[in-house]
Structure 1
Amino acid sequence: MIDFRYHVVSIVAIFLALAVGIVLGTTLLQEPAVKSAQEISAQLTKTKDELRVQIDQLQGREAGNDAFVTSVTPKLVAGELTGQRVLLVEAPGSSTTFREAEQQVLEEAGAEVSGRVTLTEKFFDPDRSGVLDGLVNQLKPVDMVFPSTATVWDKAGALLASTLLTTDQAQAGTPNAATAAVISGFEAGGLVSTDGDPAKRAMLAVMFAPEKAYEGEQAETQLGALVSVADRLDAAGKGAVLTGSAANTAVTGGAVSALRDDGDVAKRVSTVDTVDMPTGRVVVVYALREQLSGRAGQYGIGKGASATQPALPTTTPSPTQSGS
Structure 2
Amino acid sequence: MISFRTHVVTLVAVFLALAIGVVLGGGPLSELGRGSEDADALRDDVAQARSEAQFGESFADDVSSTLLGKRLDGREVAVVTLPGADSEVLDGLTERIKAAGGEVTVTQALGSSLVNAGEKSLVDTLGSQLMAQLPDDTVTAGASTYERAGELIGLSLATSGEKSVEATPQSTAVAEGLRGANLLDAADDPSGRAPLVLVLLGDEVTGDGADAILGGLLSGMASQARGLVVAAPTADEGSQLDRLREGDALGDATSVDGAETAAGQVAAIAALARSYDTQGGSFGAGGADGTVPLG
TM-score of the superposed pair, with normalisation by structure 2? 0.81
Q: Number of residues paired by the alignment?
A: 265
Partner of 2:184: 192
Q: Does 1:292 align with 2:258?
A: no
Are 1:297 and 1:306, in contact at CA under 8 Å, matched by a contact in 2? yes
Please tell me the residue identity of whatever aligns with 1:206: L
Partner of 1:279: 263
Partner of 1:9: none
CA distance in 1, matches of 2:57, 2:29: 38
> SS in structure 1 opposite 2:187?
strand
CA shift for structure 1 position 192: 0.7
CA distance in 1, matches of 2:127, 2:28: 70
CA distance in 2, matches of 1:42, 1:124: 49
Which digits, 9 at most, give the CA deviation of each residue in 1:130-179, with x for residues without a partner? Answer: 1122212222314245333x221111111121221112234x14113312
Which digits, 9 at most, give the CA deviation of each residue in 1:250-273, with x for residues without a partner? Answer: 264x4422321222536x221111
Partner of 1:100: 91
Percentage identity across aligned positions? 22
CA shift for structure 1 position 64: 3.0
CA distance in 1, matches of 2:32, 2:200: 45
Q: Does 1:135 align with 2:126?
A: yes
Which digits, 9 at most, give the CA deviation of each residue in 1:190-227, with x for residues without a partner? Answer: 111143433610001111112x3344x52xx1221111
CA distance in 2, matches of 1:256, 1:99: 18
Please tell me the residue identity of whatever aligns with 1:146: T
Which digits, 9 at most, give the CA deviation of each residue in 1:20-63, with x for residues without a partner? Answer: xxxxxxxxxxxxxxxxx999755883223212111111202222
Are 2:105 and 2:194, in contact at CA under 8 Å, matched by a contact in 1? yes
Q: Which runs of 5+ in 1 are unaligned?
A: 1-36, 314-324
> SS in structure 2 opposite 1:185?
helix
CA distance in 2, matches of 1:79, 1:204: 15
Q: Does 1:261 align with 2:249?
A: no
Partner of 2:155: 162
Q: Which runs of 5+ in 2 are unaligned?
A: 1-25
Greater radius of gyration (CA) = 1
CA distance in 2, matches of 1:137, 1:214: 23
Are 1:78 and 1:109, in contact at CA under 8 Å, matched by a contact in 2? yes
> SS in structure 2 opposite 1:197?
coil
Are 2:264 and 2:285, in contact at CA under 8 Å, matched by a contact in 1? no
Please tell me the residue identity of whatever aligns with 1:81: L
CA distance in 1, matches of 2:28, 2:89: 47
Q: Does 1:224 align with 2:212?
A: yes
Segment drifting more, 136-145 vs 184-193: 136-145
CA shift for structure 1 position 181: 1.1
Within a 5 Å distance, the mapping from 1:200-211 to structure 2 comes to: 200-210=192-202
